[in-house]
Amino acid sequence: MLRSLLIVLLLLTAGTTTAAEKQFTILFLGDSLTEGLGLDSGQAFPELIGKRLQAAGRSDIKVINGGVSGSTSASALSRLQWYVRAKPDLVVLSLGANDGLRGLPVAELRTHLTETIEFARKSGLKLALAGMMIPPNYGTDYTANFAKVFPELAQLYQLPFLPFLLEGVAANPALNQGDGIHPNAEGAKIVADHVYTFLAPLLPVK
């Protein structure tokens, strides 16, 4: 009897381990736009994507919200080095907005993102890049040079590329909070739909 019970427990443990090993993990590495600053718990776009996946029966996919408010591209590498322990299967890198809003050198943005992309490749992590744009009041040259960094790196490293994270939401007062920068609950839903559509071809087939 005892032997039979031990065998059953071993089989159950093996089954749990196998299920955990098969879970596909998506890490969203970003700033306050990813974290969901100003939104209620569960309203940030990564959480909305997670809920949509669960509703679609994709319990085999796990979502990690790695957004940190106020972070710039300078934090990308160290944060990804920390998250490696979670063994993400796909990293969605969406940093740079704060670099632009603070007028930080575009060359530094490019360097930080490049270092992060190269670390991901060396670590065997699949990485997708989300582009960002900033208002034109920062000057025509700076705004244009800033926006070019993302598609150029995506092309150079052959990365899945989402041209603009806030497509259809940016500059729309009805979809943003009072600061005009962070999406409100309705805006976050649009961002989630936009990102979900982008991610769909990158997810494992069930």
**Cβ distance 166 to 183 under 8 Å?**
yes
SS3 177: coil
Q: Say whether 123 is catalytic.
A: no
Q: Say whether 179 is catalytic.
A: yes
Bridge partners (DSSP) of residue 81 are none
How is residue 163 annotated by DSSP?
S
SS3 67: strand
Q: How far apart are CA 57 and CA 53, in angstroms?
A: 6
Q: Spot the catalytic one: 31, 73, 94, 182.
A: 182
Bridge partners (DSSP) of residue 93 are 29, 129
How is residue 136 annotated by DSSP?
G
What strands lie across the sheet with 126-130, from one edge to the other?
A: 61-67, 24-30, 90-94, 126-130, 161-162
Structure-block tokens of residue 102:
């603070």
Q: Say whether 194 is catalytic.
A: no
Q: How far apart are CA 136 and CA 145, in angstroms?
A: 11
Q: Spot the catalytic one: 4, 40, 141, 179.
A: 179
Residue 172: which of 160, 158, 188 has the closest Cα? 188
Q: Spot the catalytic one: 32, 71, 73, 94.
A: 32
Q: Which residues are catalytic?
A: 32, 179, 182
